Copies of this chain bind each other. A is one copy, B any other.
């Protein structure tokens, strides 16, 4: 269980975290299982947890004025999930985070993270690398949003995150891309003819 996290830290930092340092890390996390359709965090409340996904699939989404869901982020094995804004600023979250598959998490809190960053240099480094990667990925997604056609957006999704395309239903992929399910269905049909 914790080994997935250990490997993740090693891969992001390019080092081998030793047993004593990893004990600190381990101690800051609580295993938790979330069944499909259960929530890690709700719209309107402060997102108290930051979680590492050991197994399963989750989504973070907002519900707009018309009642339509918009998925801002997917998470699968070896991804982190949380509402970063709510978690860090302690403000009420706009988002819901729930499980799309039964999911095993390693959960931690803001206080624990603060401690961890002092106690474990490698965890600290990992957090930094993660922030950087997240920002780069977000920037690329913004670029796609403002400059790509619907088809190009889907093509990029298949290329960058084929695992999402394999595991999440098409209506959720459409939501993630800012399209309606009908539009994505038609686009995929068109793509067959080329």
Q: Say whether chain A's binding surface is mostly helix, strand, loop, or mixed.
A: helix
Q: Whole-angstrom distance between the alpha carbons of A142 and B138 in the complex?
A: 8
Write out the residue numbers on chain B whose beta carbons fall within 8 Å of the beta carbon of A175: 146
Write out the residue numbers on chain B whose beta carbons fall within 8 Å of the beta carbon of A135: 84, 131, 134-135, 138
On chain A, the number of residues with a Cβ less than 8 Å from chain B's Cβ atoms is 30
Q: Whole-angstrom distance between the alpha carbons of A134 and B132 in the complex?
A: 9
Q: Identify which of B88, B139, B141, B142 contacts A85 (C-beta below 8 A).
A: B139
Scan residues 114-173 of chain A and give those whose CB is less than 8 A from a CB of chain B.
Answer: 128, 131-132, 134-136, 138-143, 145-147
Q: Is the C-beta of A181 less than 8 angstroms from some C-beta in chain B?
A: no
Write out the residue numbers on chain B whose beta carbons fall within 8 Å of the beta carbon of A140: 85
Scan residues 91-135 of chain A and give those whose CB is less than 8 A from a CB of chain B.
Answer: 94, 128, 131-132, 134-135
Cβ-defined contact, A146 with B84, below 8 A: no
Cβ-defined contact, A62 with B142, below 8 A: no
How many identical subunits does the complex contain? Answer: 2
Write out the residue numbers on chain B whose beta carbons fall within 8 Å of the beta carbon of A19: none
Write out the residue numbers on chain B whose beta carbons fall within 8 Å of the beta carbon of A134: 135
Identify the A interface with B (CB < 8 A). 62, 64, 68, 70, 72-73, 84-85, 88-89, 94, 128, 131-132, 134-136, 138-143, 145-147, 175-178
Sample of 19 A–B contacts (CB below 8 Å): A68-B147, A70-B146, A84-B132, A84-B135, A84-B139, A85-B136, A85-B139, A128-B128, A128-B131, A131-B132, A131-B135, A135-B138, A138-B138, A138-B141, A141-B142, A145-B178, A146-B177, A146-B178, A147-B178
